[in-house]
Structure 1
Amino acid sequence: MFWSIYKNMKKLLIFAEYGFTVAALLIYSGAILTVLLSGGALQQDQGEYDSSSIRIIYSLIYAVTFLLLVLRWKKTLYILSKGFWFYPIFILAAVSIIWSAEPSTTLKNSFTLINSSLFGLYFASRYSLKQQFHLLAWVFGIIMILSIFFAIALPQYGIQSDVGKWRGVFTHKNGLGARMVISSIVFLILGYESKRYSWLFWGGFSLSILLLLLAGSASSLVNLVILIFAFFAFQIWRWSYSIMIPTLIIMATISQILYFWLSNGADVVFTALGKDSTLTGRTDLWPLVMDMIWKRPWLGYGYGGFWLGWNGESAYIWLNAGWLAPHPHNGYLALCLDLGFVGLGIFLLGFWHTYLQALTWVRRSTTALDIWPLIHMTYIALASLTESALLESNSLNWILYVALSFSVRMTHETRIINAKKKLQDRFYKV
């Protein structure tokens, strides 16, 4: 009887932990909370609502995450020992309080960056890559269902009134578009990989694309097309060198031709996408951002110490740009503003190291699921060209990057150890 009670309690705790993980991922995705608390206000008009409840929810997530890591402290310490390439950027962000233009904001943002990164660590240590993927499918499934409900039943929340586009459970149509890019790739890989319930995954893929189109996010649509192409292109990396190298050369040649064609016909392309040549004011914004970067080029203004509206250094950009940009709309420029070229260089070194490991992983694997780390990092690099999607605290993109980096590193080392064991076994047999 006691054994039966123990087993039931264990199942209940596992189910509760799964529920916590899905709920936390939903919060980190930016879904539901802000759009509800702001009463469906437009993104530029959301400065008036009380965000204390959001801070409380994040604090609870931090506390539960820390507790779960402590309960598995041996595995936590083991994984932490594999993350040395992450620590310099965290240290720089925290130390930047010394030269920050707004020390209190830097302190708060550094705290949230470290805590949200700990959730990425927990996600990698607790769940296998396959389990992570299925949890993400649940998260995006919930987001899609709620987005449809909000847009149809609660249009004051689900429709962005100034442009008449769907925003679902997010504060801006681009938020829905960005999440549907990742959702499309998740369901594409699951549909491509799974034999059972493949119809359900392809349905999720189709619904993700439909919501992306209803959001009218042109940059997200372009990113999705590139990522779908990349998903199939990365599989070429597994072919034999005699076939792979000529194929990659042909693809590179075609890409160059397309690049020159698109460059010459940029106006036509922008018109077809419903955009102008300034990318909705972004190209007018970026020179102003560069002016401010060159004032503090090496270490920046401190993590989160620049973009503070009229109260910060960003007031110069608001005055000269002619519109109230919520951020630089470029992740690389945002990182330079925060931590300078030193911070950007440290981040890119770690990113490139993980990217190369993910490439090696794809080369030695056979499943579509193993391409996911490479695809997500490619997405971050693409999305950061038009949005501030790099070193962003409490962000799903950052959390998944942390989790996938640890997953790739652990799998890479496990394969090296297994390969050495096989060689030793062969040697002893001889």
Structure 2
Amino acid sequence: MRKLLIYAEQGFTVAALLIYSGAILTLVLSGGAGQDEVVEYDSSLIRIIFFLIYAITLLLIVLRWKKTLYVFVLSKDIFLYSLVMLAVVSITWSFEPSTTLKNSFTLISSSLFGLYFVSRYSLKQQLYLLAWTFGIVIVLSFIFALALPKYGIQSDLGKPLWRGVFTHKNGLGGRMVTSSIVFFILGYQIQRRSWLFWGGFSLSILLLLLAGSTSSVFNLLILILAFFAFQIWRWPYQVIVPTLIMMATISQSLYFWLSNNAGVLLNSIGKDTTLTGRTDLWPLVIDMIWKHPWIGYGYGGFWQGWDGESAYVWLNAGWTPNHPHNGYLNICLDLGLLGLGLFLLGFWRSYMQGFAWVRSSNTALDIWPLMQMTYIFLASLTESTLLESNSLTWILYVAASFSVRMRHERKIKS
């Protein structure tokens, strides 16, 4: 009976991670609509499913309240707590209080799932559950693209590109970056049946290429290099220093080369120098940020279409984005420079503690939190999922932050 309950809980965790990843539900309910199609559909099923996830998560936390409270108190992640609380209290100045109230509730619920995830499962178990989740995503993405191309192929971008079980090809690309890293770390560390993990890694890269998400391909290449760079951090100091100097020199040379040849490089891979309109959008967003620089427009209070402050951006941009395609600008819109400062301070502290963790450990599994935070930093330069509620990105950031904070505090106490 106890084993059955454990399997049931793991099944719930995988199902919740799948839903939080943004897979399947919205794509199916919208009838496979393209990015420029305005389709109204009944989202009550999505709300019911998320409510069930919130309720079950809260129940599991209550059942293990001592362990959960231990993790919550031990981590002392004051910047993370303050950021979430700022989102909640922003209802008092929000330009759309009802949206802020709803989004704040879902942000708290998502954060609680991240807390549950890290307090219930070891790092190895977390990676195994993520591997199961992404394994399901990979299989279903192939099924949707090959057997149900109306859903699995995005054909409104000039050429057909795979989106699998997501509403946009960048959604598939972004998730496959995380999937690739999960399978790469497991394949690198676990010898038993490692072919399964390397198979998952290969299929993740294949889907990434079929999605045609250029930024995701670059992010994955950087992350693979970062993985081996983090391994170097474990070497003796007398070897680390000259190695890091050499890497810094090479990186600086590449930076100057890319700065001078960015246009040629982007054109060679079929991209324009505006990064698909992003560089034209960002100045307009910054204009609006400076109108309310310190505390923003309230969590979720800015992007309200033609009826909200986003009308200025829509009118001048010539298209109708629902986010600024930059996670840091999105935080500034929602919670101002105060919110961005809280996030950056918390991120920096957790990142440095992640380095300390890697330095004192000897397995590839222990690099996962640092890899995940690195990916979030990179992806947030062109995407806006950084502080997004009901998002796998935010949940994994919360889990990574708690993981390194717990290890740091335990090391201090020992």
TM-score by length of 1: 0.94
Where does residue 24 of structure 1 map in the other structure?
16
Residue from 264, 267, 289 that aligns with 2:285: 289
How far does the alpha carbon of each residue in 1:205-256 deviate from its partner, in whole angstroms, 9 at most, with x for none?
1111000000000010111111111011111111111000100000000000
The 5-angstrom pairing of residues 104-119 of structure 1 reads 104-119=98-113
How many residues align? The count is 410
Whether the 8 Å contact between 1:44 and 1:326 is mirrored in structure 2 is: no
Cα distance, 1:44 vs structure 2: 3.5
Alignment of 1:370 onto 2:362: no
TM-score by length of 2: 0.97
Where does residue 77 of structure 1 map in the other structure?
69
Please state whether the residue corresponding to 1:390 is helix, strand or coil.
coil
Q: d(CA) in 1 for partners of 2:137 and 2:186? A: 17
Q: d(CA) in 1 for partners of 2:339 and 2:79? A: 13
Q: d(CA) in 2 for partners of 1:192 and 1:77? A: 33
Where does residue 59 of structure 2 map in the other structure?
67
After TM superposition, the structure 1 stretch with the greater mean CA deviation from structure 2, 94-103 or 307-316, is: 307-316
Where does residue 122 of structure 2 map in the other structure?
128
Alignment of 1:58 onto 2:50: yes
Alignment of 1:184 onto 2:180: yes
Q: d(CA) in 2 for partners of 1:167 and 1:46? A: 18
Q: d(CA) in 2 for partners of 1:165 and 1:255? A: 32
Q: d(CA) in 1 for partners of 2:290 and 2:44? A: 36
Residue type at the aligned position of 1:95? V
Where does residue 385 of structure 2 map in the other structure?
389
Q: d(CA) in 2 for partners of 1:188 and 1:87? A: 32
Where does residue 153 of structure 2 map in the other structure?
159
Alignment of 1:88 onto 2:104: no
Cα distance, 1:46 vs structure 2: 4.7
Where does residue 276 of structure 2 map in the other structure?
280
Alignment of 1:137 onto 2:131: yes
Q: d(CA) in 2 for partners of 1:51 and 1:311? A: 22
Residue from 298, 314, 320 that aligns with 1:318: 314
Q: d(CA) in 2 for partners of 1:273 and 1:30? A: 28
Q: d(CA) in 2 for partners of 1:202 and 1:114? A: 35
Residue type at the aligned position of 1:52? S
Whether the 8 Å contact between 1:289 and 1:333 is mirrored in structure 2 is: yes
Residue from 293, 299, 302 that aligns with 1:306: 302
Please state whether the residue corresponding to 2:187 is helix, strand or coil.
helix
Segments of structure 1 that go 5 or more residues without pairing to the other structure are 1-8, 419-430
How far does the alpha carbon of each residue in 1:307-350 deviate from its partner, in whole angstroms, 9 at most, with x for none?
12222111111111011112100000000000000110011111
Segments of structure 2 that go 5 or more residues without pairing to the other structure are none
Residue type at the aligned position of 1:246? P
Q: d(CA) in 2 for partners of 1:25 and 1:59? A: 14
Q: d(CA) in 2 for partners of 1:114 and 1:334? A: 18
Cα distance, 1:150 vs structure 2: 0.1
Where does residue 259 of structure 2 map in the other structure?
263
Where does residue 207 of structure 2 map in the other structure?
211
Where does residue 230 of structure 2 map in the other structure?
234
Cα distance, 1:47 vs structure 2: 4.5
Q: d(CA) in 2 for partners of 1:209 and 1:268? A: 25
Whether the 8 Å contact between 2:33 and 2:39 is mirrored in structure 1 is: no
Please state whether the residue corresponding to 1:168 is helix, strand or coil.
coil
Whether the 8 Å contact between 2:107 and 2:388 is mirrored in structure 1 is: yes
After superposition, the CA RMSD in angstroms is 1.0
Whether the 8 Å contact between 1:44 and 1:324 is mirrored in structure 2 is: no
Whether the 8 Å contact between 1:38 and 1:46 is mirrored in structure 2 is: no
